[in-house]
Amino acid sequence: MIYSKMTIAVIFSFCFIFGLMIVYLSKERVKNSENKIYKSLIILNLMGLVLHILCENAAYYYDVIPKVISTVIFKSFLGYFYAFGAVLLMYLLTISQVKNSELYKKIVSGSISVIYIILYFLPQELYRDFENKIFYTKGIDVQLIYVLSAIVITIIFTLLIKERKQITKKKVIPILIFMIGATISVIIQKFYPEIVVIDCVESIIILLMYFTIENPDMKVLNELYKNKTIMEQTYDDKANFLFEAAQEI
């Protein structure tokens, strides 16, 4: 396995996102769309970080690893960039409560599969510089992801502006940081293709979202419900007692 500065950053990101996932899943959560999509983002980011490391090694050992496996790894990682943005768009559609949001989410979700299929049929080139340990893919598929990512970011920005009154400020902050971080990452990668930081940026976004997403503790909710039931029962008992006492008088 090869190690670079980016590999260390990716491993670090993986560790704290994995820890976040354990913390998040350790408690029972309200089963709503917001929590469901957030969990998907965590899992997706973990997959992206793993694919990042696999890509570096697949590029380095390209002559040894079967090309089919290398291609699957490269294409999967490339598709991840669109997938994360698409799922984040689904999250935004959920919290903004846009009309026909469920239909839009199905369209966005379906587009992920379509994009992956298209990617696997597009040609791809691999650049390798063993001396400087620089490896990256290039080609039509990479350009396609650039374009699609730009479209997704534009849609997210437009939706944020249009539905700003429906979304609380604390939920807007991580999404804004994502747009800024993603834009900067794309610019950096355009000039330095070997530097891929977007998945690490997305890890930070997920961490920020954890503190903004509605995550009530189900134990607390159950206790509150139980206390409410007891109070209602006590009230009914008192009412019945007073009624019976009044009847006797």
Print pLDDT tens along the chain (249 aa): 545 667 788 888 999 899 989 988 887 777 788 888 999 999 999 999 999 989 888 888 888 889 899 999 999 999 999 999 999 999 999 888 778 888 888 999 999 999 999 998 998 888 887 777 777 788 898 889 989 988 999 999 998 888 878 888 888 888 888 888 888 888 887 788 778 888 888 999 999 888 887 655 555 545 555 656 666 566 566 656 555 666 655
Residues 223, 105 within the same domain: no
Residues 20, 137 within the same domain: yes
Residues 195, 235 within the same domain: no
Q: What is the dihedral angle through the alpha carbons of 134, 47, 185, 81, rounded to the nearest 10 degrees? A: 110
**What is the value of pTM for the model shown?**
0.80
Residues 195, 87 within the same domain: yes
Residues 51, 132 within the same domain: yes
Residues 28, 54 within the same domain: yes
Residues spanned by the domain of 245: 217-249
Residues 195, 239 within the same domain: no
What one-character DSSP code corresponds to residue 136?
E
Q: What pLDDT score was predicted for residue 171?
A: 86
Q: Which residues of 203-215 are buried (b: 16+ CB within 10 A; e: fewer)?
A: bbbbbbbbebbee
Residues 10, 127 within the same domain: yes
Residues 61, 131 within the same domain: yes
The number of folded domains in the chain is 2
Residues 138, 231 within the same domain: no
Residues 225, 191 within the same domain: no
State the Cα angle at 247 between 246 and 248, rounded to 5°.
90
Residues 44, 91 within the same domain: yes
The answer to whether the CB of 184 falls within 8 A of the CB of 119 is no
